């Protein structure tokens, strides 16, 4: 797809050359200037442009041409490029015919010859025509496309993965888009086997696995080496901070993350209390900057899932989802937390089909002019509510507690109170999700009783469940699954029998010597972006102390 086209048409070669030169001098930077010596040649050029997917912004045609007049050409050109502007070049003797053509052929303007000086007699007219054309022009999308129904978990997962990795894409719902139907035919895709991801090189993936999609968009899914000084599991803010400090201090670091940089914070639409960003910063932007910073220092990023970790002979081995292992001297567990599940009837059935965990930025535009419900009263829920308020007709926050004061930062509470289309309902919770193929309604319990409300989208931001189910028993955790570190490992004032070292564990060291934990996954951590960055940063100092023993 090139620049939009301005097509000049005249059978007089000298006149055509003069027109083209004037057009190129004024519009060559933003448009491709093409020429044709007859009406039929112009139509042939139009056919080629259609085949290539190009757009025509303006036809500028002479009236007196043998075989096909300018008016006849512009009438036919309108059928090919109906949005293009059409201007006629005439002699004084043809003025009356040109005026009639404005009505009969829907020509936008006519110009009389000669048009010198063009700065006074040509460019002002064409500037107006091209300006009007640009107002309604939508450039054809040339990047990655996702075709999938809105009420599909797999479609949501693909779009969420691309969004969180900041990969630009265009989403087309086959139930609403004629273009989606045309692309399904063009790529010979089965409408019942979606989502499909279409790439600019003409290839496609149908219902892709996450690693398959990651590899296609350029993420590494295979480690470059077998051994590293440090392996960091989890690319949330804690993991990213550890990667920056580890590699900047000369350690070979591998950062493993199956989803996208930023973790839970990466899905926050705006963080306004993070030091150094007085106007706020989105979690995605903060994560992107940290990822670029870590990459510049030499961190290797791996789009994989860690499924286990074992230790032998003072080395640690991290097992990946593909069955391979990478080894290291020190490891950092920064896997963060997930939103807790809402245990209500209908939840599993409509997850991805109207019920979502987080995902505010991915689904917000889909909820334009709708009423959405948000479950939760902490900062993540408040940030989502503010973001949704830009698109949704109404945002209703369902909060179990009596107020937001105990769970949400004051700046967010004030913003929510000042946003007219956000309603906060305290002492309320969802008891059931209802619908057929997708969410259609929710039953809500309040202090006044239960009621059923129409609902097309429910977003859940409740609590924090640590992502530690894959860890071996040797990594000690509290009853809720959060990792114990440092002094928290002590039982009745003594270290557990499994601790064989002749020293006390470092502040962020787990029950396995040389394996550390940082961020939200650690027992007793403060669930804030700045705290995660701080813990990830200082964890590297403890790693240095551990590695110095060898």
Residue 222 lies in a domain: no
Structure tokens at 114: 């000669």
In the predicted model, what is the mean pLDDT of residues 114-126?
89
Q: Where among 433, 460, 487 does a domain terminate?
A: 460
322 located within any domain? yes
Same domain, 449 and 357: yes
Same domain flag for 104 and 250? no
309 within a domain of the structure (yes/no) = yes
- What is the residue-averaged pLDDT of the chain? 91
Check: CB of residue 351 under 8 Å from CB of residue 154. no
The β-bridge partners of 491 are 494
> Which residues form the domain of 190?
144-216
The helices-and-strands tally (H runs, E runs) of the chain is 16, 26
Q: Which of 460, 491, 506 delimits the end of a domain?
A: 460
Residues 331 and 477 in one domain: yes
Which CATH number is 246's domain given?
3.50.50.60
Of 247, 362, 364, 375, residue with least CA distance to 301: 247
Mark which of 410, 427, 460 sits at the end of a domain. 460
pLDDT in tens, 323-382: 999 999 999 999 999 888 888 998 889 998 899 987 667 788 888 889 999 999 999 899
Statement to judge: residues 179 and 102 lie in one domain: no
202 shares its domain with 111? no
> Considering its fold, how many domains does the chain have in total?
4
pLDDT per residue as tens digits for the range 467-495: 999 999 999 999 999 999 999 999 877 88
Whether residue 7 is predicted with pLDDT greater than 90 in this model: the reply is yes
Residues 103 and 46 in one domain: yes
Shared-domain flag, residues 23 and 106: yes
Cβ-proximal residues to 479 (8 Å cutoff; 6+ apart), any chain: none
pTM above 0.95, yes or no: no
Evaluate whether residue 221 is within a structural domain.
no
Round to whole Å and give the CA distance between 224 and 240.
19
Contact 28, 55 (CB under 8 A): no
Residue 234 is assigned to a structural domain of this protein: yes
Give the CATH number of the domain where residue 29 resides.
3.40.50.2300
Looking at the fold, whether 13 and 98 belong to one and the same domain comes out as yes
pLDDT for position 41:
95
Whether residue 421 sits in one domain with residue 328: no
pLDDT > 90: percent of the chain: 66
Inside any domain, residue 99: yes
Give the CATH number of the domain where residue 197 resides.
3.40.30.10
- Please indicate, yes or no, whether residues 310 and 380 belong to a single structural domain of this protein: no
Kindly state whether residue 465 falls inside one of the protein's structural domains. no
Bridge partners of 171? 146
Residues 10 and 116 occupy one common structural domain? yes
Say what the pLDDT of residue 109 is. Answer: 85
249 and 330 co-located in one domain: yes
């Amino acid at each position: 797809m090139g620049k939009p086209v301005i097509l000049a048409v005249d059978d007089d070669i000298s006149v055509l050359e003069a027109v083209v030169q004037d057009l190129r001098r004024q519009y060559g930077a933003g448009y491709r200037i093409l020429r044709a010596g007859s009406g039929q040649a112009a139509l042939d050029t139009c056919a080629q442009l259609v085949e290539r997917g190009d757009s025509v912004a303006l036809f500028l045609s002479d009236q007196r041409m043998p075989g096909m007049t300018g008016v006849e050409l512009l009438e036919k050109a309108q059928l090919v490029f109906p949005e293009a502007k059409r201007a006629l070049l005439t002699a004084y003797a043809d003025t009356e015919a040109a005026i009639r053509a404005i009505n009969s052929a829907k020509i936008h303007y006519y110009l009389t010859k000669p048009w010198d000086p063009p700065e006074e007699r040509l460019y002002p007219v064409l500037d107006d025509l091209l300006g009007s054309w640009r107002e309604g022009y939508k450039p054809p999308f040339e990047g990655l496309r996702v075709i999938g129904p809105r009420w599909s978990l797999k479609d949501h997962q693909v779009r969420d993965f691309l969004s969180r990795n900041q990969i630009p894409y265009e989403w087309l719902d086959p139930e609403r888009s004629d273009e989606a139907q045309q692309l399904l035919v063009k790529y010979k895709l089965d409408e019942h086997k979606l989502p499909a991801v279409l790439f600019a090189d003409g290839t496609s993936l149908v219902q892709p696995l996450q690693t398959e999609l990651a590899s296609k968009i350029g993420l590494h899914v295979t480690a470059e080496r077998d051994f590293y000084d440090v392996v960091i599991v989890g690319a949330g803010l804690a993991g990213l901070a550890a990667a920056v400090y580890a590699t900047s201090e000369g350690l070979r670091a591998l950062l493993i993350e199956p989803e996208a940089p930023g973790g839970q914070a990466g899905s926050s639409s705006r963080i306004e209390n993070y030091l150094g960003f007085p106007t706020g910063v989105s979690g995605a932007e903060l994560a992107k900057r940290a990822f670029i910073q870590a990459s510049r220092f030499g961190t290797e990023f791996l789009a994989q899932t860690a499924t286990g970790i074992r230790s032998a002979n003072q080395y640690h081995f991290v097992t990946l989802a593909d069955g391979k292992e990478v080894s290291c001297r020190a490891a950092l567990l920064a896997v963060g937390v997930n939103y807790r599940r809402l245990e209500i009837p209908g939840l599993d059935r409509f997850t991805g089909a109207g019920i979502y965990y987080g995902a505010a930025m991915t689904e917000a535009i889909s909820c334009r002019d709708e009423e959405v419900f948000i479950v939760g009263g902490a900062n993540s829920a408040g940030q989502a509510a503010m973001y949704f308020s830009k698109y949704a007709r109404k945002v209703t926050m369902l909060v179990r507690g009596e107020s937001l004061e105990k769970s949400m930062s004051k700046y967010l509470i004030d913003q929510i109170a000042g946003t007219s289309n956000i309603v906060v309902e305290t002492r309320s919770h969802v008891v059931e999700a209802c619908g057929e193929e997708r969410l259609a309604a929710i039953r809500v319990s309040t202090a006044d009783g239960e009621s059923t409300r129409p609902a097309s989208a429910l977003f859940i931001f409740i609590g924090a469940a640590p992502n530690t189910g894959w860890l071996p028993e040797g990594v000690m955790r509290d009853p809720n699954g959060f990792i114990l570190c440092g002094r928290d490992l002590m039982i009745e004032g003594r270290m557990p029998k499994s601790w064989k070292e002749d020293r006390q564990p470092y502040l962020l060291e787990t029950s396995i010597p040389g394996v550390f934990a940082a961020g939200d996954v650690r027992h007793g951590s403060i669930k804030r972006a700045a705290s995660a960055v701080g813990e990830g940063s200082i964890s590297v100092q403890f790693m240095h102390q551990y590695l110095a023993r060898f």
